[in-house]
Amino acid sequence: MHAATLARPIEINSAPMVAPPGRGEEGHRPLTVYIAGNEIYGPGDEANGHYHIAFGAVRIYRLLADGRRQISAFHMAGESFGLEPGDRHQFFAEAVCATGLRKVRTLPALESMQGLLQLALEGMMRAQQHLLVVGRQNATERIGAFLLDMVERQGGLPQIELPMSRQDIGDYLGLTIETVSRTLSKLREKGVIKFHGLRSVEVCKPSLLEAICQ
Amino acid sequence: MHAATLARPIEINSAPMVAPPGRGEEGHRPLTVYIAGNEIYGPGDEANGHYHIAFGAVRIYRLLADGRRQISAFHMAGESFGLEPGDRHQFFAEAVCATGLRKVRTLPALESMQGLLQLALEGMMRAQQHLLVVGRQNATERIGAFLLDMVERQGGLPQIELPMSRQDIGDYLGLTIETVSRTLSKLREKGVIKFHGLRSVEVCKPSLLEAICQ
DNA sequence: CGACTCGTTGATGGTGGTCAAGTTTAGTGG
DNA sequence: CCACTAAACTTGACCACCATCAACGAGTCG
């Protein structure tokens, strides 16, 4: 269930050929393509830099001994992830869907340091914001906050494509898959959202969604 | 209830006189003393550095519109806090008990940058670890994880002094004050912990506590 | 000593978890 | 292109855990 690595990631050095439809900067670094479920790194793996997402999406998570999973973050195209203290990773990182990554090795220079600090602080901020959602909001509020976050991260357009499964959403929000499904159905019945496919959602009443999330 | 500032913090420039029983390094920076409930900063306040805790404890939190509070972190003597992205704070920081702080202004130098990065990454790590607790563990496991964390941060001794109230613990763990109280009572009845005062706890069976937390 | 805050304990109910079908979607091979 | 299969998702019934409401006890300060 928790996605064993199904196939090896493919490394592509001739970047221009396979450049994703996104921005073409940083094209000189090799692009590695992962398919859905591929592990990018796991606890204990050497950590010597971070990753930039050319396209696709990544989940960062931890497991409890009995298999309970908490996804602490999703990262989308254009974002960076993978910076951790120490020289060993403490989390799992997996491709949520077909994903292209460029690895960025850490340079001990001042200006790159400032960028890394910014990255780390934003990561801390996101985690602490998410803590408020998971710790103090009910199922409807959590789903609402999640949808609004996705809208914002996909450019503000009301139509969003969710790369992740209901299980992923549940493990991110601290809910079960059934509760995620039920809550989405309730929002659909109320006309707040509309489905154009299981993972294609249109937020019809964003103001109502914002009101739900307080 | 949520601690309005009761009195102004006291700034002391002649540090040696009031040096706390802790370590005496960094004694050249002015020490500011806050009493329990004092606000250190709030959302919108200018952020231009971080704080080092000489003695006492600090809570970092956010509020929802209806007053629900999520404490995202406690910081104890010897630790640092207050680093945030951008030039404005987005959280509240308050003294949990009588607390002495030294403000550290950010220098744009390489070596200080590396220290800040480490600080930010550890903060992110802590928040993400806490996310697992709040998102995926039940009340007993949360309390257990909290107690073990406090033991570790107070030097590993089984006897710990909790500077924070039950309400604080609840707002940190995403539980109500009643559930915190009941869970602690249950652990006491089972002989896992022992009280030497309302906020003085002895962990009699740390291994059992670890087992509870998985 | 009285008033206040903080903490504990009890009774009750609701939200969301669990278990158990169904249903839809996507993927595979004939 | 369609049948078959497996995975993903939905929906329902039931129940447990924790929140809520309420009362009471303990500690603290004036």
* Interval A92-132: pLDDT, tens: 999 999 999 999 988 777 778 888 999 999 999 999 999 99
Average pLDDT, chain B: 88
**Residue A142 pLDDT more than 60?**
yes
Q: Does domain A137-212 have CATH number 3.40.1280.10?
A: no
The percent of residues in chain A predicted with pLDDT above 70, rounded, is: 86
CA-to-CA distance for B200 and B191, rounded, in angstroms?
15
**Residue B27 pLDDT more than 60?**
no
CA-to-CA distance for B50 and B80, rounded, in angstroms?
7
CA-to-CA distance for B28 and B44, rounded, in angstroms?
29
**Do A10-109 and A137-212 come out as alike in CATH topology?**
no
B118-170 pLDDT per residue, tens: 999 999 999 999 999 999 999 999 999 999 999 999 999 999 999 999 999 99
A21-60 pLDDT per residue, tens: 444 444 457 999 999 999 999 999 999 899 999 999 999 9
Looking at residue A21, what is its pLDDT?
Answer: 43
Which residue has its C-alpha nearest to nucleotide C5's C1'? B1
Q: Which residue of A has its CA nearest to B172?
A: A135
User: CA B115, B121, B125, B128 torsion: positive or negative?
Assistant: positive
Average pLDDT over residues A73-83: 96
Q: Which nucleotides of C are covered by protein (CB under 7 A)?
A: 6-11, 15-20, 25-26
Q: Do residues B9 and B32 lie in contact, with contact meaning Cβ atoms separated by under 8 Å? A: yes
Q: Which of A70, A83, A121 sits opposite B135 (nearest CB)?
A: A70
Q: Does domain B10-112 have CATH number 3.30.420.40?
A: no
Q: Dihedral through CA A99, CA A105, CA A110, CA A113, nearest 10?
A: 50
A169-189 pLDDT per residue, tens: 999 999 999 999 999 999 999
Q: Which nucleotide is nearest to A68 (CA to C1')?
A: C17
Question: Is A139 (CB) below 7 Å from strand C?
Answer: yes
Which CATH number is correct for A10-109, 2.120.10.30, 1.10.443.10, 3.30.70.980, 2.60.120.10? 2.60.120.10
For chain B, which residues make up each domain, given as ranges?
Answer: 10-112, 137-212
Which of helix, strand or coil describes residue B173? helix
Test mutation, B68, B81, B84, B131, chain A, max A CBs within 10 A: B131
Looking at residue B28, what is its pLDDT?
Answer: 59
Instruction: Pick the closest to residue B24 from B74, B78, B76 (CA basis).
Output: B78
